[in-house]
Amino acid sequence: MNATTHKPRIRPCLSPLLALAALTLVACEPRLDTHGFMPNSELVSQIQTGDQDKFEVAEVLGSPSTMATFDDDIWYYITQQSRIFAFFKPEIVDQQVLVVRFDEANVVSEINRYTIEDGLIVDPVTRETPTAGKELSILQQLFGNIGRFAK
């Protein structure tokens, strides 16, 4: 074999690495999830206070997402959009709430719209309740039972 006729092969080892990098980046694309139902503005504009009852509202807007806990005279239509990035906690991007209130005669008395800016952040109590007993170190937990048990 002659040195002039022999051509070295170039192995494309970067191609799999580039493909792996591209797949990794695509897999980390944030995903948008939408939950709930929000009637469009045209449908909501058909509802007038003092005109429609519950049955007519249900025909136009559909059934509500939820009703008030102790009073079925308040209907909530709720939608929420959140962005999920990989394994992180979902981040709420948008939230809309349509509240339809009915009077004693089951006729619409009030219609309100709320967005995410109208919401309040609720901070749960993070205190811990102390428990009886003593705190053990790792070594005490590992070797604490040595010699405790008789045959």
Question: Cα 13–15–20 angle (5° rounding)?
Answer: 110
Q: Can you give the pTM of this predicted structure? A: 0.61
pLDDT in tens, 4-25: 666 666 555 557 777 777 666 6
One-letter identity of residue 98: L
Domains in the chain: ranges and CATH: 29-120 (3.30.1450)
Percentage of the chain exceeding pLDDT 70: 83
Least confident of 13-17, 30-34, 48-52, 137-141: 13-17
Q: Which amino acid is at 38?
A: M
